[in-house]
Structure 1
Amino acid sequence: MASQRSGSLEFRNARILDGSGQDGYDGHLLVADGRIQRIADEPIGANRVIDLDGAYLAPGFVDMHAHSDLRLLHTPGAEEKLTQGITTEVLGQDGVSVAPVPADLKSEWATRIQSLDGTVNGAWPWETVGEYLDELDAADPAVNAAYYAPHGNLRSLVAGFEDRELSEPEVQTVKAELQAAIDDGAFGMSKGMIYPPSSYGRDDELEALAESLAERDSFMVSHVWNETDYVVESIDRYIDICQRGGCHAHVSHLKVGGQQNWGKSEAVLGLFDEAEAADHRVSFDQYPYTAGSTMLTALLPPWARQGDSADILERLRDAETVTRIADDIDSPGEWENLARAAGTWDNILITRTASGTHQGETVAEIADERDLEPVEAMCELLVEEDLDVTMADFIMSEEDIERFLADERGTFCTDGIFGGKPHPRAIATFGRILERYVCDREVLSPERMAYKAAGRPADILGLEDRGYVKEGYVADLVVFELSDVSANATYEDPFQLTDGMDYVLVGGEIAVENGERTEIRNGSVLRSTDEWDGNARPFFDRKATERAPSE
């Protein structure tokens, strides 16, 4: 149920991480009317006083790449996010999501994105971004939510699921629909270059959309064409498109996949250095695990994913086509071949199926059970489950993960896909960063972590009064004792909530107390032009701001 405004609350003796990356400091903080009213060196006084005894107090964390688009409609309490310290989720990812949708393609879109974003009972009652956000608002979520306009959805308004070049009038229509989506509340545009129909976008089309985004000083967010053998070339291509169009480039779930490519993180960050030297804004998000997770259909060659769901299933039932799929997977090529990147079918773990069978088994184990070759077993499973299968693919190295974590241009994300036995990143990402990479390995300082988890995301999104512990800002806050944080979720048992977040406040109301969820749901659906107080995203770079607590 929704919260009622409580009286004033003072956190005393806090070690404040203000979200700027500067050194933490000791202080007392007063929350009232949903905002941080005062930060002082001496006790302030309030209706309720909580002595933190030196525990960290930080701005609430922002999950910069989430897949709760439909989950928040039926599970608005978001316990698995709040107990990580997450107070804001960013939806509409990978160029394929829930809005906008053509009326005649709602059913097909619902089928296509169910593995990523889940389902709801009945037909979607929305078509536009604004209508979807209204529906989300009515669900009364416990966390804040922001949304990107997905490129594939925009494209489907003029071309459905056809793999073809758009005409100039069609490109202009897509640009107009993008502008309408931003007016409705989208913060930018996402694209997913392995997910149809976003993957059908040509570079000229994407450059035109980058130009449209630049008119609002907005940004493009991309799952790039290849995160394995051609990861450097793909990111270079993406940054170039954004540079030509004049918009900020943000890379989704930055990674380097495939053992033969480990170490290329240095070259990727070199591309970011070059872009910044040319006065071009770049950023990225990342999760701290060596396995990715997505739809099992992502293992198929691009030609095998064309058309609607019925077309794909028809191919997978044909023995000759399955042989061709196996040959393509076994051969080097420029497409995103995640099976080759994994090296062995033992590294492809099934996390969810529509029927609930085979969850927690590898493709190699399923193939052995059925006395089939792995590709045959994969295709057979996809047919049985009507394509509704997700996986975890173990393709990354710790060295690359740590190099990206240390870079201040990055932000964090769960990329959380729920259902079945999901990748533990959905439940434990931020706890794992604090426990493993801040406390144990010291890859990040607590101050740098808070900046990347809250301040930098707020700057990227253009949130003027969130993401920092500052007087007058919305009181989205998290309190933790670093040594107590434990990310408990595992691949074998993912639904173990993170421990150690003593308090989490959303809009000034306590959503987590003593590590346990309260019944309060005080999240807000954030809409771009409202948050920007205008038609264009404001530019923020607040990491250098000096602290000025009240006397």
Structure 2
Amino acid sequence: MTTASSTSLAFRDARVLDGSGAAAFAGSVRVANGRIDEISDEPLDAERVIDLGGAYLAPGFIDMHAHSELRLFEHPEAPEKLTQGITTEVLGQDGVSVAPIPADLTAEWEERVKSLDGEIDGRWPWHTVAGYLDELEAAEPAVNCAYYAPHGNIRSQLAGFEDRPLSDERVVAAGPVDAPHLEQEAADGEAAPGELEALRRELAVALDEGAFGMSKGMIYPPSSYARDDELEALATVLAERDSFMISHVWNETDRVVESIERYLDICRRGGCHAHVSHLKVGGKRNWGRSEAVVDLFDEAVERGQRVTFDQYPYTAGSTMLTALLPPWARQGESEDIRHRLHSAAVRERIAADIDSASDWDNLARAAGSWENILITQTGSGRYQGETLASVAAAMDREPVDAMCELLVEEDLDVTMADFIMSEEDIQRFLADDRGTFCTDGIFGGKPHPRAIGTFGRILERYVRERDVLSPELLAYKAAGHPADILGLDDRGYVREGYVADLVAFDLDAVAANATYEDPFQFTDGIEYVLVGGTVAVADGAPTGARNGSVLRSHEEWNGANRPTLDRAAE
């Protein structure tokens, strides 16, 4: 819970970026009681005065796609995020996360997401979104946190990890696990709902408990098992709240344009705002198709849709190594996958599928070479920082055989970085003002440097060196725009009365030091960061302050519906 500092603080001689995209202006900003107290073109007095010497002062950056759900319990001080200027992280991504979960699938969910979201000591003590957010609040994180309801988690309450359609023709006999509202309806004599209606109700509960929208991950089971009618039914629930759907689309490589078009159509039919996760175009043969993606967005906007996205500024992605497997090889629970991968015949079939053109998101084929698949983390710590080609050589196996063997030996707990993108596509998306930024930070081992260096890299490489973004557009895409998307009506902008989440940076000195070889190197040039008015970074170093808030949608929205915000247009 944010605690307002009783000490007033004034930043003088600042170049203020207000978050709207408007031109920077010279001025002073005073903070008192956790909020921006006054903005003036004259020097302001306060109990503590910091002269920025012409450095930029902007709203705190919002990481629109993060995977710190469990890391914040072990590392609540979050220095790798604060030193990028990040004051808010959005969790619950890709349709697979930590809540809600059926009680009988807790162990499976813990194992399934540990490569993505980490782990904690002991069994998770929550089953609901509200329960998770309460536990996170008790951990006193240094950054603010928002949460999306993950589609796969909600689906697992009704169908576990079964790959089958859900239908209202199939009635939920006893109601989903941990769904007391449905149990109460049954006790009151109401008819049991069909599966799609039950799924809709479970999403509504997650939103009522604090989720801001619903994420889906169309390459990650069980979210990947959804049919379009199921997603459209959920989109209508989001539309009723003026909320939004967030998607890792079905294919980010050979079928990226078709996949995004399919997603936009689902959101249009359901009536909700569409947000694309970690937007990219993967595979050399597809480079340049970012232009077609932008055209799709333009057409959707012309139809009256609201379309947004997030991205990170690197040519490599990162995810669980199991994502290299064809969809059929990932079906079932973790033990089913491990058992399947022991088979030599299965490994041969996987190799044949990877070598062939197909509709599934074939990330190994998109990489073009096993040298372009870098192992970033394993449960045992072996092979971290090595390519799959070198792992195969060490094992004296063919690459697919080595990949399967590594997954078996490590109980599937392996993550990777896959080099599949082009600078041209990255820059086209960066220049689009519908976009926001994210780290998509997956920790453990030697993680992809995006977890530690994303915002510093954008400032250094694309604002200062390449002029792809102006400082003003950077502040809008990093703070004002994401705050509008989330419906945070007193954050994301430097305005009087707003929560004092602020970042001061020296653009000439910003350097993203994180590398693939040595990722845990913090960004230089981020001079001060305030979270809720408390100084969390001073003179470039974390102070240890933990003043973040766990944000809940209904509290931030002052009700069940997200406010429509477009403050940059005001």
- Equivalent of residue 484 in structure 1, options 499, 503, 509: 509
* Distance across 2 between alignment mates of 1:505 and 1:317: 51
Evaluate the alpha carbon distance shift between residue 3 and residue 208 of structure 1 in structure 2; reply closer, same or farther with a 3 A threshold: closer
SS at structure 1 position matched to 2:300: helix
Following superposition, the deviation at residue 291 of structure 1 comes to: 0.1
Q: How does 1:410-425 map to 2 (within 5 A)?
A: 410-425=435-450
Partner of 1:182: 207
Q: Are positions 1:232 and 2:257 aligned together?
A: yes
Residue aligning to 2:520 = 495
Alignment check: 8 A CA contact 2:68 2:117 kept: yes
In the TM superposition, residue 519 of structure 1 has moved relative to its aligned partner by: 1.9
The number of aligned residues is 545
1:484 aligned counterpart, secondary structure? coil
Aligned match of 2:408: 383
8 Å CA contact 1:19–1:454 kept in 2: the answer is yes
Question: Deviations for 1:246-275, whole angstroms, at most 9, x for unmatched residues?
Answer: 000000000000000000000001000000
Q: CA deviation at 1:6?
A: 3.8
Cα distance in 1 between the residues matched to 2:2 and 2:156: 36
Aligned-pair distance for 1:42? Answer: 1.1
The whole-number CA distance in structure 1 between the counterparts of 2:294 and 2:388 is 34
Q: State the match for 1:300 in structure 2.
A: 325
Contact kept? 2:312, 2:440, Cα under 8 Å:
yes
Q: How far did residue 3 of structure 1 move?
A: 6.2
The 5 A counterparts of 1:34-433 are: 34-168=34-168, 169-433=194-458
8 Å CA contact 1:94, 1:222 repeated in 2:
yes
Q: Do the aligned partners of 2:511 and 2:525 also contact (CA within 8 Å) in 1?
A: yes
Identity percentage of aligned residues: 73
Task: Give the superposition deviation at 1:44.
Answer: 2.2
- Once residues 530 and 377 of structure 1 are traced to their aligned partners in structure 2, the CA distance between those partners, rounded to angstroms, is 49
1:170-228 superposed Cα distances (whole Å, 9 cap, x missing partner) = 11111101011011000000000000000000000000000010000000000000000
SS at match of 1:50: strand
Deviation at 1:446, TM superposition (A): 0.2
**Secondary structure in structure 2 of the residue aligned to 1:483:** coil
Partner SS for 2:508: helix
Task: Tell me how far 1:53 sits from its aligned partner.
Answer: 1.3
TM-score (norm 2): 0.95
Instruction: Give the distance between the partners of 1:296 and 1:379, measured in 2 at CA.
Output: 9
State the AA in 2 paired with 1:254. L
Looking at structure 1, the residues matched to 232 and 432 of structure 2 have their Cα atoms a distance apart, in angstroms, of 27
For 2:261 and 2:102, the matched residues in 1 are separated by 33
Residue deviations 1:361-406 (CA, integer Å, cap 9, x gap): 0010011111111000000000000000000000000000000000
Looking at structure 1, the residues matched to 380 and 129 of structure 2 have their Cα atoms a distance apart, in angstroms, of 31
**CA distance in structure 2 between the aligned counterparts of 1:5 and 1:481, rounded to whole angstroms:** 25
Deviations 1:136-181 (Å, cap 9, x if unpaired)? Answer: 0000000000000000000000000000011211111111010110
1:535 counterpart (549, 553, 560): 560
For 1:465 and 1:237, how far apart are their aligned partners in 2? 34
Change (3 A) 1:4 1:468: closer
In structure 2, the residue matched to 1:549 is none
> Displacement, 1:4?
6.9
Quote how far apart the aligned CAs of 1:357 are: 0.2
- 1:305 Cα deviation from its structure 2 partner: 0.1
What is the aligned partner in structure 2 of residue 5 from structure 1? 5
* Residues in 1 aligned to 2:455 and 2:224: alpha-carbon distance in whole angstroms: 30
Amino acid at match of 2:379: A
What SS does the corresponding residue of 1:165 show, helix, strand or coil? Answer: coil
Question: Which deviations, in whole Å up to 9, do the C-alpha atoms of 1:296-343 show, x marking residues without a partner?
Answer: 000000000000011101111000010000000000000000000000
Q: Conserved in 2, the CA contact under 8 Å of 1:2 and 1:520?
A: no
Q: What letter corresponds to residue 339 of structure 1 in structure 2?
A: A
Cα deviation digits, residues 52-82 of structure 1 (max 9, x gap): 1111000000000000000111110000000
Alpha-carbon distance between aligned partners in 2 of 1:441 and 1:460, rounded to the nearest angstrom: 27
Deviates more, 1:393-402 or 1:367-376: 367-376
What RMSD over aligned residues (CA atoms) do the two structures have, in Å?
A: 0.9
**How far, CA to CA, are the matches of 1:227 and 1:544 in structure 2?**
31
Unaligned runs of 5+ in 1: 546-551
Answer yes or no: is the 8 Å Cα contact 1:285–1:411 preserved in 2: yes
1:522 correspondence with 2:565 = no
Q: Contact 2:2 / 2:532 at 8 angstroms: preserved in 1?
A: no
Distance 1:503 1:200 in 2: 45
2 CA distance for matches of 1:453 and 1:7?
27
TM-score, L = length of structure 1: 0.98
- Comparing 39-48 and 318-327, the one that deviates more: 39-48
> Are 2:501 and 1:463 aligned?
no
> Following TM superposition, by how much is the alpha carbon of 1:94 offset from its aligned partner in structure 2, in angstroms?
0.1
CA distance in 1, matches of 2:76, 2:48: 27
